[in-house]
Structure 1
Amino acid sequence: MAAALENGTVDISTEAVVVDDDVKFGFQRQEMYTENLSGSVHPYERHVFLCYKTREDWPARVESSDSDLLPKRLAGAIKERKNDIAVKTLMTIFEGGAATGLSDGDVLIFPDMIKYRGLEESNVDSFVEEVIVNGKPWASGTPEVVTGSYVFVCAHSSRDKRCGVCGPALIEKFNEEIEVRALKDQVFVSACSHVGGHKYAGNLIIYSSVEDGKVSGHWYGYVTPNDVAELLDQHIKKGEIIERIWRGEMGVPPVEKADKAVEKSLPNGNDSKVNGKDDEKENTGGCCQGANGFSCCRDESSGPKKSTFNVNFFTKKWEQHEMFTAAAVVGAVATVAVAYSLYKRSR
């Protein structure tokens, strides 16, 4: 809002800056809605969140900052042991506070839906060895089960101005709508560090339990404050994906995500067949870059399967044709020989 000065005039400079930021970096920027979002999340199967300071404190590369040794140590330990870790694991920094009941050094792990408290630089190696690599409880801490839905909104301003403008506005709107719906004990919202895809800001991830007891992790992009109520009422309450802003989900490769998007657009919803035939696809090859510099690679493949025909069928047909032709030639030769013999006798 414009500020009122002592002489009664109005200072419009502050308001102008806010409007200018929104046009350049916020929800009115030109790149909004210019790209297809589905399949824009690199494949992964586990997400580790470290609670550490506030978004204003995070440097651009908080996971490698010499001034922030805890996140640097954890990120480094996970990266060093990546070949020993059975599932592709991402690590992200998030902001704690009274609303979440979490403080510096606390760790959330999805889809496990557990938290550990009080991680320190001195015990990072044991935590990674026991919990992340071996999948066992941490000897230095007690795992606590978490319930409800967790919304992580990228608000990493020092990394990208777009996230710095969009993220806080989304967090504020979420908190307002959560208050209205009396969901403070069921939905928890936190700012998080870079998760990939600055151009899709506002970016957010929602982790929550689904009906069959499993945990889903859905990514959304191009989210505006106008989408927040729908995310609460449709996605979190009813478990319905908001397709127009959906980027992908935990545990599902990009090719399968694209297939899911096609299935959702079909008349019968869950009918994955088109014209009576299954659309068979394979994952495309190559390596991808995970969030915060962690790499996650997939096996090389040649892309979509090509149609094949039955080679044996044509081989058999060709062999039959040759056999009939040979028989006809032999028969013709025999006929000529008999005719010639009769001709000689008649003379």
Structure 2
Amino acid sequence: MEAASENGTGDISTESALVDDDVKFGFQRQEMYSENLSGSVNPYARHVFLCYKSHENWPARVESSDSDPLLKHLAGAIKDRKNDIAVKTLLTICESDCGTGLSDGDVLIFPDMIKHRGLEEANIDGFVEEVLVNGMSWAFGTQEELTGSYIFVCAHNTRDKRCGVCGPVLIEKFNKEIEVRGLKDEVFVSACSHVGGHKYAGNLIIYSAVQDGKVCGHWYGYVTPNDVPELLDQHIKKGEIIERIWRGEMGVPPVEKAEKVVELTNLNGNDLKENTKEVKENTRGCCQVANEFPCCRDDNLAAKKDRKKTCMFGLFSAKWEQHEIFTAAAVIGGVATVAVAYSFYKRSW
């Protein structure tokens, strides 16, 4: 906010603009908490983050920006090799040089907890081939092991102003709370590009090890600055999910997530009908090789066909059984008629 004027009052137009932005795009917007978040994450098994400049400099469509060939080439290379990559992989851009020691061209891979340094446009194809396709160590760059927890907050303003307004505020709040708790060497926060679902802003993803040592990526939406202390104290410190703002997690198919919603709903005593509807809506098989390249199919179609076949077979069986009953009755009736006629015939003799 601008400095106070000579008469001691602030810049009213600036204050009004900030309030207006918060109501339209920020934490006070009308759509906040209007949807059920659980199950709103497409399934994936690996997340690749390319560190590149500041979030203020990212183009709206990072995968097709001619002014940023490193981003465009990496996104294109992953798309071209999607049929060769064994696990569903998500590509996102994160901010470099933001207090995390990250530089342009660094690549972070989760859940592997590995950082590769030195990615350049000239060696992208080799990186994708060796690391993402073949699962090998990258011969060209330097590889380091990541420790601690990583929080990625969507602040992609050129893509959607909601994350552009909410993201920076959340990052500032996280850094302040991390400082208070003395977690600067354990928890790292960075802005990231579009992760899907700008309507859920503030959007963020947390990668951290849970109690059994397994690294999980949990997505949260409708996050406000008031949620930040709880995310640090409950999710990161205790490994407990905050259900009211939880969107889903890495490696969990939509059906399983939907079933988990029903299970949690039963425990909390909420309306089961609403969540049963969600199970039906989330039984779709999806893949997302890169953030901008989704491909989905409706697995319900085959199920519907199977159900239709079952119903048709059941109807046919019922009709066949009915036909058999009528036939048997006719045969019995015929035999009885012959017996009666034969009885009268004998008496006449």
Common fold, TM-score beyond 0.5? yes
- In structure 2, what is the equivalent of residue 277 of structure 1? none
Letter in 2 for 1:194: H
Under a length normalisation based on structure 1, what TM-score does the superposition of the two structures give? 0.86
- In structure 1, what is the equivalent of residue 204 of structure 2? 204
**RMSD of aligned residue pairs (Cα, Å):** 3.1
Structure 1 position 28 matched with structure 2 position 32: no
Distance 1:193 1:98 in 2: 15
- In structure 2, what is the equivalent of residue 188 of structure 1? 188
Q: Identify the range of structure 1 (57-66 vs 192-201) with the bigger mean alpha-carbon deviation.
A: 57-66
Distance 2:191 2:45 in 1: 21
Distance 2:108 2:235 in 1: 21
CA shift, 1:125, in A, is 0.5
* Correspondence 1:171-250 to 2 at 5 A: 171-250=171-250
- In structure 1, what is the equivalent of residue 345 of structure 2? 341
Letter in 2 for 1:294: F
CA shift, 1:2, in A, is 6.0
- In structure 1, what is the equivalent of residue 15 of structure 2? 15
Letter in 2 for 1:296: C
Distance 2:155 2:9 in 1: 34
- In structure 1, what is the equivalent of residue 100 of structure 2? 100
Report the 3-state secondary structure (helix = DSSP H, G, I; strand = E; otherwise coil) of the residue aligned with 1:115: strand
Q: Which ranges in structure 2 are unaligned for 5 or more consecutive residues? A: 274-278
Q: Which ranges in structure 1 are unaligned for 5 or more consecutive residues? A: 275-279
- In structure 1, what is the equivalent of residue 137 of structure 2? 137
Using a 3 Å threshold, how does the CA distance of structure 1 residues 3 and 303 change in structure 2: closer, same or farther?
A: farther
Q: Identify the range of structure 1 (108-117 vs 298-307) with the bigger mean alpha-carbon deviation.
A: 298-307
Structure 1 position 328 matched with structure 2 position 296: no
Number of aligned residue pairs: give it.
Answer: 338
Q: Give the ranges of 4+ consecutive aligned residues of structure 1 lying more than 3 Å apart after TM superposition.
A: 6-10, 280-292, 296-301, 303-324
Distance 1:282 1:221 in 2: 19
Report the 3-state secondary structure (helix = DSSP H, G, I; strand = E; otherwise coil) of the residue aligned with 2:56: coil
Distance 1:32 1:282 in 2: 21
Deviation by residue 1:200-252 (Cα, 9 ceiling, x = unmatched): 11110111122233221111111100111111112112222212111111122
Q: Is the 8 A contact 1:285 1:303 kept in 2?
A: no
Distance 1:12 1:319 in 2: 86
Report the 3-state secondary structure (helix = DSSP H, G, I; strand = E; otherwise coil) of the residue aligned with 1:195: coil
Distance 2:160 2:280 in 1: 35
CA shift, 1:169, in A, is 0.4
CA shift, 1:328, in A, is 2.9
Q: Is the 8 A contact 2:89 2:290 kept in 1?
A: no
Distance 1:231 1:9 in 2: 37
Deviation by residue 1:92-134 (Cα, 9 ceiling, x = unmatched): 1101226312111110011111111111111111000011111
- In structure 1, what is the equivalent of residue 112 of structure 2? 112
CA shift, 1:179, in A, is 1.4
- In structure 2, what is the equivalent of residue 301 of structure 1? 300
